[in-house]
Amino acid sequence: MAKKASDAGGGRAQAVHRALKRAILDQALSPGSKLPEDSIGERLGVSRTLVHQALVRLSEEGLVDLRPNRGATVARPTLEEGRNLFLTRMALERLVVETLSGKLKPEQIEALSAHIAAEEAARTAHATSIRLAGEFHTMLAQMTDNTSLIRYVDELVARSSLILALYGRPHSSECAVSEHRDLLDKLIAGKTEEAAALMAHHLDSITTRALLPKEDSMNIKDVLASYAAAEGLA
Amino acid sequence: MAKKASDAGGGRAQAVHRALKRAILDQALSPGSKLPEDSIGERLGVSRTLVHQALVRLSEEGLVDLRPNRGATVARPTLEEGRNLFLTRMALERLVVETLSGKLKPEQIEALSAHIAAEEAARTAHATSIRLAGEFHTMLAQMTDNTSLIRYVDELVARSSLILALYGRPHSSECAVSEHRDLLDKLIAGKTEEAAALMAHHLDSITTRALLPKEDSMNIKDVLASYAAAEGLA
DNA sequence: GTCAGAAAAATTGCATACAATGATAGAACC
DNA sequence: GGTTCTATCATTGTATGCAATTTTTCTGAC
């Protein structure tokens, strides 16, 4: 008989890692949330050991802040980190585009096309929209067959989701879907430079569209600051 | 009182990770070597738990091959992985160069210059030569203040060392030192494109110079294959 | 009411212990 | 002699337990 479904794809350690990662990216755990090892372990039915390992790994991936002896929290990347992250993404995804341009196989084109359709269908659901948009980029990376490239793009896309969740405007990812389709067209046609430019523009517009603090994500200090100013205080 | 020197820079878990990483990169542990958890733990004076965590982490970084329930070995990257890895490096280090060009501060220039001098001094010692050459690239990355970029370049440089150790010709890194100095000059002068081109050429020449199997690293099958061909067999 | 200090609780870091999986060696059989 | 089955051993994967550190709560003074 097969192993338990929850173990799919590796040991339980990896399962815990995936579960937490998924929870963070789905914003079920919002940035800044505390992540106590034993309550997580209890909830997931594993020991603290495995949760600890998963948290360490997530902190290496930048999804979790881990301060020694003081516990883990869901990461709250700064705007500066966000901008740097998108710069790195751009460098890597340019390589993805260059690698793939004119070399996509029919079934790959099929899969990408289907995914874009799914993105269009999910345009209203904000959270899944972000997820699907990210998955498009990881799909592209996957097709390069370059393991380090795949890993890094995956990580950066995941962190990007976190950043978009933190700083993104409500409807910032809507326009991106058409850009995905345009990009795919250029890739199929083998127009490498145009595709690369499109990818650069795509990521740049995500950055500039999103990387401005949205109103309701301001912290208490910021909120009070404006009231204080209005009253001539502090 | 300060902590024990061996703990410097984080918990013991990280100390174990650094120790193993260093041992691998120094080729004290050669590619393919078995890495049993308890003997390592005994030797380092820590429990298997920490060794296990370090090995998992190293496997994520590509320095260790970890097969479930079958133990860890020092990674033996394939030539294909090596080529892909250098492609990824090129994409990222181009970003490093673009970020740094014309913006190096005097003390940074000083540090880089001193490092290049050290490389020249160590030209005879093959192992340290590889290490110093790598450190030059990680120093550059560090100066970008882009944390994801730093992390990925660090990782790729480390893996590159492994690959050079496996496939590099005995004296393949000698010429690279002068290229480092040329690159620094272009960076200081702010000639971004020239610097980027130089970096590309630098990495490319490392690749083509090194990524051909050296004679004594061929495995039995390969060795026999050439004999078989010479005799008109198989 | 607030502030400082101390005791208690909660939480992490690590080691040890146990269970499960794979490797190895020996015996039985062909 | 070689092959297969089995029993033993070695090694990993995970849980539990203990010590250390941090946070919280309680107490008492001002």
Q: How far, in Å, CA of A129 to CA of A145, rounded? A: 26
In this structure, the answer to whether residues A191 and A134 fall within a common structural domain is yes
Q: Are residues A84 and A65 part of one domain?
A: no
Question: Does B144 score more than 90 pLDDT?
Answer: yes
Q: Is residue A92 part of a domain?
A: yes
Quote the domain boundaries for residue A87: 79-214
Q: Are residues B59 and B85 in the same domain?
A: no
Residue B57 lies in a domain: yes
Check whether residue B70 and residue B119 sit in a common domain: no
Bigger pLDDT: A233 vs A75? A75
Q: What is the mean pLDDT of residues B70-91?
A: 94
Of the residues A53, A74, A95, the one at which a domain ends = A74
Q: What CATH number has the domain bearing residue A137?
A: 1.20.120.530
The overall pTM is greater than 0.95: no
Percent over 70 (pLDDT), chain A: 83
CA A66 to C1' C9, in angstroms, rounded, equals 22
Same domain assignment for residues B68 and B83: no
Nearest C-alpha in A relative to B156: A148
For A91-140, the pLDDT digits (tens) are 999 999 999 999 999 999 999 999 999 999 988 877 788 889 999 999 99
Whether A55 is covered by a domain: the verdict is: yes
Residue A211: predicted pLDDT: 67
What are the tens digits of pLDDT across the range A21-33?
A: 999 998 899 999 9
Of B11, B56, B92, the CB nearest to A91: B92
- pLDDT for B109 beyond 80: yes
Let me know if residue B229 belongs to a domain.
Answer: no
Which element (helix H / strand E) includes A64? strand A64-67
Does B56 contact A57 at a Cβ distance shorter than 8 Å?
yes
Mean per-residue pLDDT, B70-79: 94
Note whether B54 and B86 are same-domain residues: no
Task: Work out the pLDDT band at B9, boundaries 50, 70, 90.
Answer: low
The shortest CB-CB distance from B152 to any of A53, A81, A152 is to A152
Q: What is the CATH number of the domain that holds B43?
A: 1.10.10.10
Residues B69-79: what's their mean pLDDT?
A: 94
Residues A196 and A183 in one domain: yes
Kindly list the strands in the beta sheet with A64-67, ordered across the sheet, starting from the edge strand earlier in the chain. A34-35, A71-74, A64-67
Q: What are phi and psi of A233, to 5 degrees?
A: -100, 165
A111 with A23, same domain: the answer is no
Mean pLDDT of A24-48: 93
Q: What is the predicted pLDDT for the residue at B122? A: 87
Does residue B48 sit within a domain? yes
Query: Looking at this protein, which amino acid is placed at residue B230?
Result: A
Q: What percent of chain B has pLDDT over 70?
A: 83
User: Mean pLDDT lowest for which of B30-39, B96-105, B223-232?
Assistant: B223-232
Asked if B20 and B118 sit in the same domain, the reply is: no
More confident residue, A164 or B156: B156
In chain B, residues 148-167 whose CB comes closer than 8 Å to chain A: 148-149, 152, 155-156, 159
Average pLDDT over residues B221-234: 44
Rounded distance in angstroms from the CA atom of residue A108 to the C1' atom of nucleotide D21: 53
* Domain co-membership, B115 together with B208: yes
Q: Is residue B28 part of a domain?
A: yes
Residue A6 clears pLDDT 50, i.e. is over it? no
| Domain-terminating residue out of A74, A93, A121 | A74
Q: Is the same domain home to B95 and B182?
A: yes
- State residue A52's pLDDT score: 97
B53 pLDDT band (50/70/90 cuts)?
A: very high
Number of domains within chain A: 2
Residue (of A32, A4, A7) closest to A17 by Cα position: A7
Closest to B164 measured CA to CA, from B82, B223, B88, B81: B82
DSSP 3-state assignment of A2? coil
Last residue within a domain, chosen from B74, B90, B112: B74
Lowest mean pLDDT among A144-148, A226-230, B145-149, B157-161: A226-230
Strand segments (E) across B68-173: 71-74
Mean pLDDT of chain A: 85
Predicted local distance difference test score (pLDDT) of residue A7: 46
What is the pLDDT at residue A126?
76
Residue B232 lies in a domain: no
Q: Edge to edge, what strands does the sheet with B34-35 contain?
A: B34-35, B71-74, B64-67
Residue A15 has pLDDT above 80, yes or no: yes
Residue B234 lies in a domain: no
pLDDT, tens digit (0-9, with 9 covering 90-100), for A52-76: 999 999 999 999 999 999 999 999 9
